[in-house]
Structure 1
Amino acid sequence: MKPPVLTIFLKEMRETLREKRTVGLLLLFTMMYPVMIGVILNQVIDRNTRSEREGIDLAVIGAARAPTLMAQLKQKNITVIDTAPMDEPAIQAKLQEGKVAGVLRLSDKFTDNYTAMRPARVELWYDSAAEKHAQRREIEDVLEAYGANVASARLLAHGVSPATLAPIEVQRYDTGTNASRSAGFIGSMLSMLFFPAFFCGMSAAVDSTAGERERRSLEVLMAQPARAWEIVSGKWLMAAALAVIGLTLELILAHVVLSWIPLEELGMAWSLSWAEVAMVCIVAVPLALLAAALQIALAMNAKSFKEAQSLLSIVLLLPMLPGVVVSMMDLKTSLWMYAVPMLSNQTLLRELSKGVDVGALPFLLTFVSGTLPALAIVAFASWRMKSERYVLAV
């Protein structure tokens, strides 16, 4: 004979899986976010590396007036397109075609001013609405370097060392690794990966409590030889199982996507191993248990199915609060963060993505921080189930 908890668990799971549309939507929402992360990062990588792959086309009006500048542009993989003189409307029309990153126009008096050591005007025309910001920055860097070289040469010609204009020399040494540089950017995106723990089991939790009470099927279930804690535990484990499945699938898919994307193109890295991902999934199980317990307890105390849905929709905002508060206060990672549900999972994954050896204690605290509140809430829900006021929705 099966234990009552297992019987109730299987009964609730069977009824939930019959709703194929609901299950399909849950799977869609679970897989959508990792795929979205992959698409966004791919777009960022493509935008930042496009100039290296395709080169930069620059239309230059009056290129013959500055041969040294043209040579420096070509050294930086910038293709100089010698262009006939154009007025402003013609330049705007050329930029709107999107074939060049900008139009460089040297004034008619460029050579005279350059020879007389007066500022020689160079006009850089560009379209700020076009997605060529990185290419424009490279062109501006060449122009600044050209101006600095000319200034140094003129100082030397007058017997003045260019070092006079640089009283200090700053040397920068970056000790950050690719993983640590990526932690801030990727960590902000990964915090959302744990939300399936809260929305994958929500529908089942509401339907198995407030829904069954409205349909009067809960009275039949309570008439069976099963104690209140067994009924609550069966429903709780069913909702938690859905949350665990959704959360695990999302973490695995996110790991596959981030491992496949060439993050090194952005100076980033995703250094988690499959063993570390498995550990993150294991310590995330109590988070799913806590979410399911909270949803079961709140839905049980709602007077109707609609009230339970509305209440739990608001509760979905609670997991966001710890991460938002920590980011707003700009707090450094501390041991106490691993004792706060949801925040502990986000902090653990962020530190692992940095390549930090966190040790065993953060894993233990993350596991316990979700397990103990979950058991306490289930105990409260079991006590609540014994009340006739609950069954009759009084």
Structure 2
Amino acid sequence: MKPAFLTVFLKEMRETLREKRTVALLVLFTLMYPVMFGVLMQQLIDRATRSEREGIELAVIGASQAPTLMAQLKQKNITVRESAAMDEPAIEALLQKGKVAGVLRLSDKFTENYTAMRPARVELWYDSAAEKNGQRREVEDVLEAYGANVASARLLAHGVSPATLAPIQVQRYDTGTNASRSAGLIGGMLSMLFFPAFFCGMSAAVDSTAGERERRSMEVLMAQPARAWEIVTGKWLMAGALALAGLTLELLLAHVVLGWLPLEELGMSWSLSWLDITLVCVVGLPLALLAAALQIALAMNAKSFKEAQSTLSIVLLLPMLPGVVVSMMELKTSLWMYAVPMLSNQTLLREVSKGVEVGALPYVLTFLSAALPTIAIVAFASWRMKSERYVLAV
């Protein structure tokens, strides 16, 4: 003979799965964020590597006056397109077409000033609203390097070492790994992966408590030979199963998407293994059950179906607060963060994605931080179920 709570669980799950439209919306919501995140990251990669794939096209007015500069531009994969003299409206019209990264105009006295070792004016026209700012910065780097080379050559011609202008030589060593840079950039996006734990079981939790009470089917259920804790446990496990399914699916899909993206083009990497993501999913189990227990308990104490929906919609904002506060205060990762539900899961995933050896304690704390309050909330809901005031909604 099956336990009573299992019978309630199967009954609630069948009724929930009959609502195919609701289930389809939950699946769509779960799949939407990883796919959207992957598309946005792919666009970022395409934008960052567009210069390497397509090259840079630069319109130059008066190119014949600086053949060395033109040669240096071509060495950096910058296509020089010589143009006739243009006034300012013509230059603006050319830039608006978006075919060139910028317009380089050499003054009429460029050669004269260059020969006389006076500053030779070069004008760089560009459109800051266009999507070619990266290409424009590469052109500026070439111009700066060219100016530095000319200055060094002039100093040597006067018997002065160029090292005189650089009394301090700074050598930079970046110890950050691709994985840590990845976590720094997409850490905030990773935190959103845990929200299905609070969304996927909410409608089922409300319908199986406040909804059944309004339909008067709760009285029939409570008249069966089942104790209050068995009824609550069955409903809680049903909502928790939906939340866990959504959370696991979202984490696994995000892992696949991030592993497929060429993040190395941005100097990043996604180093999590299937074992790592599996452990993250395992310690996410109590979070899904905590969300379901909280929703069941709050919906039970609401006097109507609409009130339960409104209450839970507001409560959904609570899981966001710890992560937002920590990010705004720019706090370093500390052990206490693993004792806060939701924040602990976000922190653990961020640290693991950096390639850091976190040890066993953060996993244990993350598991217990959600498991312990879950037991307390389920016990409270079971006690509340025994009250006639709940059944009569008074």
- For normalisation by structure 1, the TM-score amounts to 0.99
CA distance in 1, matches of 2:46, 2:382: 54
Partner of 1:171: 171
Q: Which amino acid is the alignment partner of residue 200 of structure 2?
A: C
Match of 1:373 in 2: 373
Deviations 1:213-266 (A, max 9, x none): 111100110000100000000000000000000000000000000000000000
Q: Which runs of 5+ in 2 are unaligned?
A: none
Task: Measure, in 1, the Cα distance between the counterparts of 2:269 and 2:117.
Answer: 48
2:392 alignment counterpart: 392
Deviation, 1:188, is: 1.0
How far did residue 90 of structure 1 move?
A: 1.1
* Aligned counterpart, 2:216: 216
Quick one: which amino acid aligns to residue 49 of structure 1?
T
CA distance in 2, matches of 1:185, 1:205: 35
Q: Show structure 1 runs of 5+ residues with no match.
A: none
**SS where residue 43 of structure 1 aligns?**
helix
Matches within 5 A, 1:76-95: 76-95=76-95
Q: Give per-residue Cα distances to partners, 1:332-383, cap 9 Å, x unaligned.
A: 1111111110011001100110001111111111111111100100000000
Distance in 2 separating the partners of 1:306 and 1:122: 68
Aligned identity (percent) is 86
Deviation sequence 1:81-120 (CA, Å, 0-9, x none): 1111111111111111111111100011111111111111
SS in 1 for 2:170: coil
Establish whether residue 54 from structure 1 lines up as the match of residue 71 from structure 2: no
Q: Distance in 1 between matches of 2:97 and 2:359?
A: 56
Return the letter of the residue paired with 1:278: T
**Could you tell me how far apart the structure 2 residues matched to 1:105 and 1:93 are?**
15
One-letter amino acid matched to 1:322? P
Q: Which residue in the other structure is 2:201 paired with?
A: 201
Report the CA distance between 1:18 and its aligned residue: 0.7
Secondary structure in structure 1 of the residue aligned to 2:80: strand
How big is each residue's C-alpha offset from its partner over 1:140-195, in whole Å with a ceiling of 9 and x where there is no partner? 00011111111111112222211111110000011111001111112111000000
1:275: which partner in 2? 275
Q: Which runs of 4+ in 1 moved over 3 A?
A: none
Q: Which residue does the alignment assign to 2:37?
A: 37
3-state DSSP of counterpart to 1:117: coil
Provide the secondary structure at the position in 2 that maps to 1:82: strand
Please give the secondary structure, in 2, of the residue aligned with 1:175.
Answer: coil
CA RMSD between the two structures: 0.7
**Which amino acid is 1:74 matched to?**
K
**Correspondence for 1:98:** 98
Cα deviation, 1:311-345, whole Å, max 9, x if unaligned, reads: 00001101111111111221111111111100110
Residues in 2 aligned to 1:280 and 1:167: alpha-carbon distance in whole angstroms: 51
Q: CA deviation at 1:14?
A: 0.5
Distance 2:201 2:66 in 1: 68
SS in 1 for 2:124: strand
| 1:49 partner SS | helix
Tell me which residue corresponds to 2:266: 266
* Cα distance in 2, alignment partners of residues 334 and 93 from structure 1: 55
Find the aligned partners of 1:186 and 1:364 in 2 and give their Cα distance.
Answer: 25
Residue 64 of structure 1 aligns with an amino acid whose one-letter code is: S
2:309 is equivalent to residue 316 of structure 1: no
* Aligned positions of 1:211-290 closer than 5 A: 211-290=211-290
- The alignment's TM-score, normalised by the length of structure 2, stands at 0.99
Paired residue type of 1:218? M
